[in-house]
């Protein structure tokens, strides 16, 4: 199969997809309320003759689109949710477009458009070459906060897929083989009694005290959990004003560990701490299990195919103007910070990249057996079908994710080049899968071996997506989205 015509089609139509990516970057919508972002993707797919369902698995912004028929079925996944509070201009300086508004600090404007461009390019190759099979585009909302793919997995939307590909903007060009941490997502509500904080404090029961005591207990717990565990929280509601004892307070926790079996005992202890905080303050506790994610199962068969396609295409190079942009971004990160991030990647030759601005190499995966401290709902898909999410350089080396610098790079030509390179890589690998039954067979055998006796059981199989919570959050940001 000659892939050059597919890659040429992507080049010839690159402006269409850059425009989509830039519009999603501009919309910067939070999870489960990506109304405009999902609409532009769905309309683009329809324009190119895909059968499109918008609003799947209980999510109004979830997309399932198909072209072709029969086997094999290859899934391409795209995300498009933004992050709160990191709006920024597409310039190498920290400057919000709208103060306090969301921004694409994880590059999901590119993520979703990569899969879109690849799916449509493959659609025309299938028509022109008479290829059999089905291309399925999954528009997956709310990766950052509510794990949209989990609802799709639970709804059975991946049950018949032969292999699944995903792409994530990053700092390196690599089909990474690391796993990810499993998570539990909890909200802790405490209910107390109001009183005048000066005149009659003895009559009050402070819900905020309960939240703070719980946080203190959890922070002491950190010494007594496995080193790889991570626990993060925010206080979402803490009261109105200091002279009123708060009768309601709420915290939001993410709890992480390399595998779900390691996560369970940590979560159990945190729940006990929450109960203890309620007892100490004579408040009432409501622990809401929002959901959770599995650890990622990598796939070397897919990683090898992606790496080969990356090398055949060749990583992007950059203009003087783009390098000046990158240099300005680089100046906002100290050398020690950059070294720390490179070392944390565990790349065997990380020292070579200390003075590099943007990665222009295609790396051999080095991280099989390593667990990334981050989490993703791609992991749940990887328990159902051979799956791999590869990375392409979109950002300046050493810059932290979920940050204004990623927003800036994702909205200009450095991000655009990553998008086109990734779309070609995904399209080329999809062609390999469509035309090589043996590759699919090997990928499935590898998944079976890695899973062993482990079984996938959805963390919260009976729950609906938290649409009201998501809409309430969006309502708070009215005028900023």
On whether both 164 and 42 belong to a single domain, the answer is yes
CA atoms in the 13 A half-sphere facing the CB of 472: 5
For the CA atoms of 423, 398, 180, 462, the dihedral, rounded to the nearest 10 degrees, stands at -70
At residue 476, the pLDDT reads 81
Question: 375 and 245 in one domain?
Answer: no
**pLDDT (average), residues 369-391:** 96
Residue 24 predicted with pLDDT over 90: yes
Mean pLDDT for 324-353 is 95
Residues 146 and 246 in one domain: no
pLDDT of residue 346: 92
Residues 89 and 235 occupy one common structural domain: no
What's the structural domain count of the chain? 2
Same-domain pairing of 51 and 169:
yes
In a domain, 388, yes or no: yes
Mean pLDDT to the nearest integer, 165-183:
97
In this predicted model, what pLDDT tens digit does every residue of 183-220 receive, in sequence order?
999 999 999 999 999 999 999 999 999 999 999 999 99
Residue 460 has a pLDDT of 78
Burial zone of 136 (CB within 10 Å; 0-12 exposed, 13-18 middle, 19+ buried): buried
Q: Does residue 243 register a pLDDT over 90?
A: yes
Instruction: Return mean pLDDT, the chain.
Output: 96
- Helix, strand, coil share of the chain (percent; to 5): 45, 20, 40
Q: Is residue 48 part of a domain?
A: yes
Please tell me whether the overall predicted TM-score, pTM, comes out greater than 0.95 for this model: no
CATH code assigned at 194: 3.30.70.360
Domain of 257? Answer: 182-292
Confidence label for 409 from pLDDT (cuts 50, 70 and 90): very high
């Amino acid at each position: 199969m000659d892939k050059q015509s597919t890659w040429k089609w992507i080049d010839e139509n690159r402006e269409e997809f850059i425009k989509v990516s830039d519009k999603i970057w501009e919309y910067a919508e939070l999870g489960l309320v990506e109304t405009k972002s999902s609409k532009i993707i769905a309309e683009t797919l329809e324009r190119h003759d895909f059968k499109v369902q918008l609003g799947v698995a209980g999510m109004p912004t979830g997309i399932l689109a198909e072209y072709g028929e029969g086997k094999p079925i290859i899934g391409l996944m795209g995300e498009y949710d933004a992050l709160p509070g990191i709006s920024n201009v597409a310039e190498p300086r920290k400057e919000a477009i709208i103060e306090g508004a969301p921004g694409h600090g994880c590059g999901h404007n590119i993520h979703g458009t990569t899969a879109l461009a690849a799916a449509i390019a493959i659609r025309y190759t299938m028509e022109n070459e008479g290829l059999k099979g089905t291309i399925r585009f999954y528009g997956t909302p709310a990766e950052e906060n509510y794990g949209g793919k989990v609802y799709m997995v639970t709804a059975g939307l991946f049950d018949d897929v032969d292999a699944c590909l995903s792409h994530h903007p990053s700092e390196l060009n690599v089909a990474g083989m690391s796993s990810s941490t499993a998570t539990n997502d909890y909200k802790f509500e405490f209910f107390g009694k109001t009183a005048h904080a000066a005149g009659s404090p003895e009559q009050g029961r402070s819900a905020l005290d309960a939240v703070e005591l719980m946080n203190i207990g959890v922070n002491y717990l950190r010494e007594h959990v496995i080193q790889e565990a991570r626990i993060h929280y925010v206080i979402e509601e803490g009261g109105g004003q200091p002279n009123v004892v708060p009768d309601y307070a709420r915290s939001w926790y993410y709890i992480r560990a390399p595998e779900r079996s390691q996560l369970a005992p940590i979560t159990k202890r945190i729940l006990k701490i929450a109960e203890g905080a309620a007892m100490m303050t004579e408040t009432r506790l409501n622990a809401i299990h929002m959901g959770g994610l599995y650890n990622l199962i990598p796939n070397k068969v897919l990683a090898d195919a992606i790496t080969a396609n990356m090398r055949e295409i060749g990583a992007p190079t950059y203009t003087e103007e783009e390098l000046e942009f990158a240099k300005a971004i680089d100046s906002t990160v100290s050398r020690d910070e950059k070294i720390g991030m490179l070392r944390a990647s565990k790349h065997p030759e990380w020292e070579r990249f200390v003075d590099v601005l943007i990665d222009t190499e295609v790396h051999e995966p080095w991280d099989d057996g390593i667990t990334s401290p981050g989490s993703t709902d791609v992991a749940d898909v990887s328990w159902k079908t051979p799956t791999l999410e590869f990375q392409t350089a979109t950002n300046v080396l050493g810059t932290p994710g979920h940050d204004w610098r990623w927003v800036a790079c994702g909205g200009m030509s450095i991000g655009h080049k990553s998008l086109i390179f990734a779309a070609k890589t995904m399209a080329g690998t999809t062609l390999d899968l469509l035309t090589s039954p043996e590759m699919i067979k090997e990928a499935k055998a590898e998944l079976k071996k890695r899973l062993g006796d482990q079984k996938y059981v959805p963390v919260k199989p009976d729950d609906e997506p938290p649409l009201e919570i998501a809409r309430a959050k969006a309502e708070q940001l009215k005028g900023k989205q």
